[in-house]
A and B are shown apart, each in its own frame.
Chain A
Amino acid sequence: MADKHEKEIDELSGVDTTGHEWDGIKELNNPLPKWWLWTFYGTVIWALLYTIAYPSWPLIDKAFGGVLGYSSRAQVEQELARHAEAQKPWLDRIAALDLPEIASDAELAQFANAGGAAIFRTYCSQCHGAGAQGAKGYPNLNDDDWLWGGDLEAIHYTINHGVRAPEDEDTRDSVMPAFGDGTLDKAQIAQVIEYVRQISGQEHDADLAAAGAEVFADNCAACHGEDGKGNRDIGAPNLTDHIWLYGGDRQALLETLLKGRAGMMPAWGKRLTDAQVKQVALYVHQLGGGE
């Protein structure tokens, strides 16, 4: 508007031009419609009203809160409360029913599985992995090998009370002793390692293994059973299958025998609600290994 230019009337239209030209095309100086102007004023007024209604102007210690009292934090709280309210009837039913009853109600089981998956990812995946595939020292929950039992009731108990959890007196408790403290000498340990490799179907030294059978019967069978198939009452693993929590090679077995093992799992009943523990139990049970 401010630029000065020679008044130039476009011959074709009779309108003066702004003096702006691109490739021989000149811009005509036509007026805007008046309603456009009023719309512009309207948006200005709207913007001012908006700053009065909603949080806006910065003040010395905080921002002006707006007369409507809106805040995004309060909105999140409202939405969380709304979701909690919507889930309440489901969670109440989960809390009230037994695990097998929940599992047999398709709709409720679906809700519980979805909730259990979310809780698992929040609290359990740090150790057991996002797919519950486990890691060395942290059991894989997808397979069919269970230290403390794989039916719904047993899984629920383990989650609820934990394993060797000091905060819970009903916790699952047992210990793999450290046989390296003098209970067994080096030769005996080497023998029992070969025996364990024999009963788990791995490559082994037959002579050492034969000697190891005796050592095993004297020192290990009390917990792991005479056949080495373990004992779920005390969380003693089956040594004859293909699944190893700490590894089945000689180095790992030596370490286990010398230092013992005592993995820990928190008692989640102290931290989660009853319904949450049940949901995780149902989720873990349906991963594929549930009994």
Chain B
Amino acid sequence: MRGAGTRRASSAAVRRAGAAAKMRAPSTSARQGPYSGQGAPRDRFSLILINAPSALRLHKRANPITNGNPIMSVNDTDGSGGSLYAGRIPIFPRRVKGFYRSLKWWIMGIALGIYYVTPWIRWDRGPEMPDQAVLVDLAHRRFFFFWIEIWPQQFYYVAGLLIMAGIGLFLFTSVAGRVWCGYACPQTVWTDLFIMVERWIEGDRNARIKLVKQPWNARKIRLRLTKWTVWLLIALATGGAWVFYFADAPTLARDLISGQAHPIAYTTMAILTFTTFFFGGFAREQICIYACPWPRIQAAMMDENTLTVTYKYWRGEPRGKHRKREGAEKLGDCIDCGACVAVCPMGIDIRNGPQLECITCALCIDACDEVMARIGKPRGLIDYCTLADEIEEREGRPHAKPMWRRIIRPRVVVYFTLWAGIGLAMLVSLFMRDSIDLNVARDRNPTYVMLSDGAVRNGYTIKVSNQNHETRTFRLSFHAEDPAHPGRPYPLEARIQGSDTLTFDVPADKKRSLRMFLTTLPFAVIRPSVDVEIWVEDLTTHERAKAETKFLGPKLEQLP
């Protein structure tokens, strides 16, 4: 079980390795940087290693509870044996202000707003139809989305949406890396919300660390209970909002309160309440690091033109706190204040280079910009930057290419074209689709029936869906051409089982199944196969739908 994998190893190890790195005699490479005197990096792998931490002074993340002493018992590197298992190092993200923080507040507000409010929007569809704008009606097998109504056989629209979501993720990932993780993933958004609540109730980073360290007393119990209660209420609202998408929200809300709702509703709510409470309040970054497969897939989709959150060590190093000391002029811009580490919700040090824990939430950019402004240096010591830019900047050509040139590249254009093409195709087909859905299935057993007067009869099952919200009257007709005499009709007679006419009603928003028979007229020459078109026409709107099928008969040698 030891050594859960190399993937995690390279970066998770980085932050645990500080003490070991310090113990080692500072090697020449550590002083000079990885590529001094070695020329340009050979390939992409070495590009990634540009940010390799041996160039920097490695800092193991300090455990705030043990007064900054890194916990080494989890994996002692001197080989004397230690625990096989590492406890979670608690994270106390500090409050930060700035452009990305504001952007994230807005995204959170809009995303959560959409999620909680949508089921309550009403949409009039006429009598006996649900008036909920967005509704997944499992009992009646309908999906309503404002003016769009999707039937089960049109589920390909949902498949199309899923494909769009997939390609959309490729698109965003190739442009800006784990931007989904950092801004829009529910795990990130709800964790952000939970941390905000935690900060309101228990105070900012230092107050929270103090609270954890102090023994239990009335105040600590009170704060903890308040925090957990608010978390639970948010979690309950989250689970609650989910079930409203599947039933009429006002009715279900009343039933939920009066205890009359279906057990499935309560179970779903309970599960989602628990997962929200636990994932947002306690598991947090562990979900991203250990449970979620998406970050591993994303890494494979990034290239040297992908924007990632980058510490520009070529500008920041060597870092140092003591600006007034002798030799300070040799120091880089990083004053080693630790602001970027303190605000990080994943508990990493971005200065160790790109690492798999980083969800690119960009809060370290805001934190560093604040500090740079205070010490009178230009912003962007930590910033969105591509690996290709990094090479240019290290060779003294900052902004060699404008950002849009990095973003608009063939790969991105292909993704966008695919994504937009599928979206357009779906929109077009959605607006062009008929409000009649006609399906004709010819009887296959028996394929044809010989009647007592020598005529041949075929049976068909006809299914007509009326997707409008009022009853409609349709007339059935057919068109068959004699294969031996093109242009001449093949003499057939149509009949609907149990009816004297070829007109029939289909109730609003319903599908009706009919049995239709085609029989040869007495003077017909029996043919083995005749192409037939079945037409259904709305008698009021004259909207029509067509289905193609065949009329089969015995081959000549089978005739008596």
Would you call the interface of chain A mostly helix, strand, loop, or mixed? loop
What are 29 contact pairs spanning A and B, CB under 8 A? A12-B53, A13-B9, A13-B14, A13-B53, A14-B77, A18-B3, A28-B3, A30-B3, A30-B8, A30-B16, A30-B86, A33-B85, A33-B86, A33-B290, A34-B88, A36-B85, A129-B445, A131-B444, A133-B445, A142-B459, A143-B451, A143-B452, A143-B457, A144-B451, A238-B452, A241-B452, A242-B450, A287-B459, A288-B457
Bound CA–CA A15/B6 (angstroms): 11
Give Cα distance in the complex from A145 to B450, angstroms. Answer: 10
**Residues in chain A near residue B58, CB distance under 8 A:** 14
Cα A248 to Cα B454 with chains together (Å): 14
Shortest distance in angstroms between B45's beta carbon and chain A's nearest beta carbon?
11
| Nearest neighbor of B73 in chain A, beta-carbon distance | A31
Q: A12-B53, A131-B443, A288-B457 are in contact. Are A27 and B497 (CB under 8 A)?
A: no
Contact indicator A31/B517 (Cβ below 8 Å): no
Contacting residue for B85 out of A15, A18, A37, A287, CB 8 A: A37
Distance in Å: Cβ of B292 to nearest Cβ of chain A: 14
| B17→A31 contact, CB < 8 A | no
Quick check: B449 and A25 within 8 Å, CB to CB? Answer: no
Give residues 1-25 of A contacting B (CB, 8 Å). 1, 7, 9-16, 18, 20, 25
Known A12-B54, A15-B17, A202-B560: A33·B88 in contact at CB below 8 Å: yes
Q: Are B77 and A31 in contact (CB under 8 A)?
A: no
Q: What is the CA–CA distance of A165 and B444 in the complex, to the nearest angstrom?
A: 32
Contacts of B452 in A (CB 8 A): 143-145, 238, 241-243
List residues of chain B with CB within 8 A of the CB of A7: 79
B498 CB contacts on chain A under 8 angstroms: 103, 109, 286
Any chain A CB within 8 A of the CB of B2? yes
Q: Is A88's beta carbon under 8 Å from chain B? A: no
Given A14-B13, A286-B498, are A32 and B54 also a contact pair (CB < 8 Å)?
no
B269 vs chain A, min Cβ distance (A): 23
Contact B4 A30 (CB under 8 A): yes
Number of contacting residues on A, CB 8 A?
47
Bits for B492-527, please: 1 = Cβ < 8 Å to A, else 0: 000001100000000000000101010000000000
The residues of A that contact B454 with a CB separation of less than 8 Å are: 242
Judging by beta carbons under 8 Å apart, are A35 and B286 in contact?
A: yes
Given contacts A27-B3, A27-B5, A242-B453, contact A14 B20 (CB under 8 A): yes
Please provide the chain B residues from 431 to 483 with a CB less than 8 Å away from any CB of chain A in the complex.
443-446, 449-454, 457, 459
- Chain A: minimal CB distance from B278 (Å): 11
In Å, the complex CA distance between A159 and B450 comes to 23
Give the interface residue-count category, chain B.
35 or more
**CB-defined contacts of A241 to chain B, threshold 8 Å:** 452-453
Q: Is A219 an interface residue (CB 8 A)?
A: no
Instruction: State how many angstroms separate the Cβ of A244 from the closest Cβ of chain B.
Output: 8
- Other-chain residue from B1, B52, B515 in contact with A12 (beta carbon distance below 8 A): B52
B87 close to A (CB within 8 Å):
yes
Extra inter-chain contacts (19) besides given A15-B77, A33-B85, CB under 8 Å: A14-B17, A14-B21, A14-B58, A25-B6, A28-B3, A29-B2, A29-B75, A30-B4, A31-B85, A32-B84, A34-B85, A36-B85, A36-B290, A133-B446, A143-B449, A143-B450, A202-B560, A287-B459, A288-B459
Query: What are the residues of chain A within 8 A of B453 when measuring CB–CB?
Result: 241-242
* Any B CB within 8 A of the CB of A140: yes
- Residues 240-256 of chain A: 1 if any B CB is under 8 Å from the residue's CB, otherwise 0? 01110000100000000
**A53-79 with Cβ < 8 A to chain B:** none
Contact B84–A31 (Cβ < 8 Å)? yes
- Contact call A130/B79, Cβ cutoff below 8 A: no
User: Is B408 part of the binding interface, using a Cβ–Cβ cutoff of 8 Å?
Assistant: no
Q: How far is the CA of A26 from the CA of B1 in the complex (A)?
A: 16
Residue contact B79 to A288, C-beta cutoff 8 Å: no
For residue B530, which residues in chain A have a CB less than 8 angstroms away from its CB?
none
Report the nearest A residue to B75, measured CB to CB: A31
B83 lies within 8 A of chain A by Cβ: yes
CA distance A158 to B158 in the complex (A): 51
Alpha-carbon distance A30/B12, docked complex (angstroms) = 8
